[in-house]
Amino acid sequence: MKKIFTFLASMAIIVSCAPTAKLVNTATYAVGKSPMKFIVTPVQADLQVSDQKISYYYEVTELVRQGGFENIVETAVKEALDVNGADVLVGLEKQIRYNADEKVEYINITGYPAKYVNFRNCEDKELLKLAESDPSRSPLLKKK
């Protein structure tokens, strides 16, 4: 339990201290001799974090439970984001209750909802160099 708490606390600090800009790649198809060519445009956005902390109670269903612990947490976070209209939760905390059979009964998600705003073409030369020099950073360009 101490390990989980330490991990969550360190993740909350890392997330809250992260820069507000994120590099996102967008792609469109270009018609030419080759059937598919990608034009990749690095995009930058700001993260607008709410001052109000939210809390979301999620009662775990048997179907979600069958997917494992990570599935339970991801489903609870997704539901919390959907209800609050957010893109991400900053300072995510989880409170988990187990039943007598040691199965997750419910999970309570808390954090600060945040949305990506102000999408724009990336003009930061360092980020552009990173996108050009390391194509593995773009999931659109990865070979399968």
- Altogether, the residues listed in the chain come to a count of 144
Give pLDDT tens digits along the chain (144 positions).
545 544 444 444 444 444 455 445 555 545 555 555 556 667 788 999 999 999 999 999 999 999 999 999 999 999 999 999 999 999 999 999 999 988 899 999 999 999 999 888 877 766 666 666 665 555 444 444
Residues 134 and 142: their CA atoms lie apart, in Å, by: 11
CB atoms within 10 A of CB 142: 9
Contact of 44 with 124, CB cutoff 8 Å: yes
Residue 121's pLDDT is: 82
Contact of 48 with 113, CB cutoff 8 Å: no
Give 85's contacts (C-beta < 8 A, 6+ positions apart). 113, 115
Instruction: Report if pTM > 0.75.
Output: no
Residue 43's pLDDT is: 79
Residue 117's pLDDT is: 93
Q: Which of 33, 56, 57, 25 is nearest to 127 (CA)?
A: 25
Residue 74's pLDDT is: 94
